[in-house]
Structure 1
């Protein structure tokens, strides 16, 4: 087979190199992250490897695509508009700021900017934990306009993580109240427990609420909060060092369910 061309593309956050024939149909693709060349036609093996030769970055496994798991099949049937996996940290705030930016003459900073900075900081920290066998989803919509800022799904369980901007401020936690500096945010812990309960109902699995404080100067907790973990953004890695409660197959199945927008409509 000759006349093959290599076309780069991104799918589900991964770079792939597709090998196309003269008719435009794919005959193979190369996933750099896994180091695998997936062949749709075994007879094209030599021609595909020759076409990919300038792009190969190390040893590769060559063969037909692996059989998809039930979780992967469920993901592949999702309409792109219903797939929440591509959401960026703070996705809802980014959209809101794009649609309705604050006036340039505003004297005080737009509080949405601080909230966005907190979600982006926490989201980036959680994304770095994916090597521990888990997944993170961001900005998951709940009926009524509420959101789960971040959902961490891994071997140690499911965690609904709420990001709170506290840069250089003292934080006082007196369940259910949380105060940042001189500003009292109200019964925030009650809301976090309610959102985690809604997520548990949607996913039919226990979801633990977590409050992630971004860059606080000091944290004072008057008594251990009921059912809510409180961590600094730099300590989110502790969530992956708890007891293992989920098998890899369960993690993948829950991730496939949680990324479906329609699932959250019943929360």
Structure 2
């Protein structure tokens, strides 16, 4: 059948390719991670395979859509205003830049943090092809927002992102110093945020600080519980750790973490179904 279009789906189109009819109706999708084609309209099977052939690699399985898991159903039932999955890196900073302070120095600082979060966000989103899931701008009442929450085979990482501004950065047990600016409590903050995330997700969460575009990064030898990441080495640092989570665990934790109600104190969470 002529006229089928292949369109990317998922964050940055890395997870799925959808095959659509000219009227926009989907007739199949190709899951890159599972290397599987799910066919919704079997009478278009040959045309679907022809349209997807340039994108396929290796042994591809073909069949009807898989039966949704409990995590899939929970994600589908999530109200749009409670879903954190669509958040872009630096989502909140984009709004602050548009409606925030007009002072040159304040706006420059916001732009630096936004650029740092967007760069690290792109690095983390690229891991989705390897079975990782990422959330950005996760609100934690009383603490602000976790810049990036990364869930993958080696575990869960709570990441604070800091612009290095092409200067030397020194990470200590409690403070992070960039250039000659006043030290900031980023290591201490990400510990607290990771502890809150551990309670919310009932799974161990590792604190991390990502330093972007520093001339060099020095880490105190006593700093062992907080991971210090940089854009050029973050992927290797994270993926080299031994796996501890199965794909089903990752999906279930991602479904739980993407719900804003998960991060509310237990006494303030709405009842189920509300």
TM-score tier (shorter): 0.7 to 0.9
SS in 2 for 1:255: helix
By percentage of residues, which structure has more strand?
A: 1
Tell me which residue corresponds to 2:40: 39
Return the offset for 1:9: 6.5
Instruction: Give the Cα separation in 2 of the matches to 1:159 and 1:20.
Output: 42
SS in 2 for 1:224: coil
Cα root mean square deviation, aligned: 2.9
Contact 1:152/1:158 (<8 A) preserved: yes
Contact 1:102/1:110 (<8 A) preserved: no
Instruction: Give the Cα separation in 2 of the matches to 1:223 and 1:73.
Output: 45
Alignment counterpart, residue 131 of structure 1, candidates 129, 133, 142: 129
TM-score (ref. length: structure 1): 0.83
Return the offset for 1:81: 1.9
Alignment counterpart, residue 212 of structure 2, candidates 200, 211, 214: 214
Return the offset for 1:163: 0.9
Gaps (5+ residues) in structure 2?
A: 267-274
Instruction: Give the Cα separation in 2 of the matches to 1:108 and 1:74.
Output: 40
Tell me which residue corresponds to 2:155: 157
Gaps (5+ residues) in structure 1?
A: none
TM-score (ref. length: structure 2): 0.81
Instruction: Give the Cα separation in 1 of the matches to 2:210 and 2:185.
Output: 16
1:58-97 alignment to 2 at 5 Å? 58=54, 62-97=62-97
Return the offset for 1:177: 1.5
1:1-267 alignment to 2 at 5 Å? 11-13=9-11, 14-19=16-21, 28-31=27-30, 33=32, 34=35, 36-39=37-40, 45-46=42-43, 48-49=44-45, 52=48, 55-58=51-54, 62-100=62-100, 102=102, 106=104, 110-144=108-142, 146-237=144-235, 238-266=237-265
Tell me which residue corresponds to 2:271: none
SS in 2 for 1:56: helix
Instruction: Give the Cα separation in 2 of the matches to 1:115 and 1:79.
Output: 29
The structure-2 alpha-carbon separation of the partners of 1:98 and 1:145, relative to structure 1 and needing over 3 Å to count, comes to: farther
